[in-house]
Amino acid sequence: MAYWDNGFKIFSANSPIKTVADFKGLKMRVQSSKVLEAQMRALGSSPQVMPFSEVYQGLQTGVVDGTENPPSNMYTQKMFEVQKFGNISRHGYLGYAVIVNKKFWDELPADVRSGLEKAMTEATAYNNEIAKKDNDEALAAMKASGKTDFYTPTDAERAALCKAMEPVYEEMQSRIGKDLIAAIRQEAGSIVEGKK
């Protein structure tokens, strides 16, 4: 029915992660995803699949060196307390699909579906507004804490990060679809270039 934002992800680690070379050899926690595992391998890191509930302890004990999360997750889960460095890379998006059973949906009266669609449109706009606010406030609070040194990559560093990820697009075409990947890249390029 809709996609709800959680925000764009940033990297964190206990060593500086300003350039692609800085990721080499790091054990980076990812959620279970072939795409995210390929992403970390493309950066020269070792992907470590770990349940979200175990990430803080994994970072604290050195089982993993770093992770990727939207700022709101990094803040609410206190990961910034055990990560010395952050890179405001905005390299990936975390969102949630709001779904409903098709058979159930199709059996609803048209007026009920119409009302639910309107409510979903309003709820989606509200959620996305809150997600942006939460991420902005979380990043500001983590910076203010002084526990994590956040770095904003230069345009050249962002371009190098994108270039390092190129093999992931190729590798995932058979899983995701070449046309879908092309459409996403076109949309993302429009946003990055300020056309949206």
Q: Is the pLDDT of residue 30 over 60?
A: yes
Number of structural domains, the chain? Answer: 1
CA distance to 72, 74, 94, 112, per residue, from 6 (Å): 8, 12, 5, 28
Residue 168 lies in a domain: no
For the ranges 15-19, 88-92, 191-195, the lowest mean pLDDT is seen at 191-195
Residue 165 lies in a domain: no
Domain region containing 60: 2-153
- Angle at which helix 155-176 crosses helix 34-42, to 10 degrees, equals 140
- Angle at which helix 178-192 crosses helix 155-176, to 10 degrees, equals 160
Residue 192 lies in a domain: no
Q: Is the pLDDT of residue 154 over 50?
A: yes
Residue 32 lies in a domain: yes
Predicted confidence band of residue 196 (pLDDT cuts 50, 70, 90) = very low
User: pLDDT digit string (tens) for 60-100?
Assistant: 999 999 999 999 999 999 999 999 999 999 999 899 999 99
Residue 183 lies in a domain: no
Opening angle at CA 35, ends 41 and 177, nearest 5: 130
Residue 80 lies in a domain: yes
Residue 30 lies in a domain: yes
CATH number at residue 45: 3.40.190.170
